[in-house]
Amino acid sequence: MLDFDLATLYEVETRALKQAVKRNIERFPSDFMFELTKEEWKLLTSQIVIFEKGQGKGKYPKYLPFAFTEQGVSMLSTVLRSKTAIQVNIAIMRAFVVMRQYYMNYKELKLQIEKLEKEMNLKFKDIYEALKYLLEPPRTPRKQIGYKTPDSLQGRNDE
């Protein structure tokens, strides 16, 4: 989650949130929080509209935003010690649990669909082969049935 979104949830200014993080930077290793690069920020803003008219002084932030992982969001509750911060943190942690559960259910469903698809492909391959055989029997020369004439016997001796 980005710092300005979290600041809105925690009902503090983005500036205050960033100051609290910088004062306690040892609590936020790189796998908890990182600052977006200019390129990442450019890509992010090109994909979604973050700043709307009237939000802030300019169209772009003065400083690049911080991005927090699940653990970083959890650590924010120790840095921002208000009742609102605790309640918001609990809600965010629950949201992460629901998202993880949804992902796991999605992953299991995807695996089941792939397994079913493989089984059906094998079955349909067999059916396809059987239909193909019935519709186009193999072309092998067959022995001629019927009376043998001297001409037909003469052709056989030449071969």
Residues 79-137 have pLDDT tens digits of 887 788 888 888 888 888 888 888 877 888 888 888 888 888 777 777 778 777 777 76
**3 state DSSP class of 2:** strand
Does 71 reside within a domain? yes
Domain count, the chain: 1
Q: How far is C-alpha 62 from the geometric centre of its chain's CA atoms?
A: 32
Gap between the Cα atoms of 153 and 71, Å rounded: 92
The answer to whether position 32 is within a domain reads yes
Is residue 19 included in any domain, yes or no?
yes
- pLDDT digits 0-9 by tens, 7-60: 888 888 889 899 999 999 999 998 999 999 888 888 877 666 555 444 444 455
Mean pLDDT calculated for residue range 137-150: 72
In three state form, how does the secondary structure of 30-81 look?
Answer: CCCEEECCHHHHHHHHHHCCCCCCCCCCCCCCCCCCEEECHHHHHHHHHHCC
Residue 158 inside a domain? The answer is: no
Beta-carbon contacts of 28 under 8 Å, excluding residues fewer than 6 positions away, are 21, 72, 75
Q: Give residue 56's pLDDT.
A: 46
At position 59, the amino acid (one-letter code) is K
Range of the domain at 102: 3-106
C-alpha of 98 from chain center: 16
Tell me whether residue 15 is in a domain. Answer: yes
Query: Does some domain include residue 49?
Result: yes
Query: Looking at the domain assignment, is residue 21 inside a domain?
Result: yes
Contacts 24+ apart (CB under 8 A), 61-65: 61/4, 63/18, 64/35, 64/36, 64/37, 64/38, 65/2, 65/3, 65/4, 65/14, 65/35, 65/36, 65/41
Query: Is residue 63 included in any domain, yes or no?
Result: yes
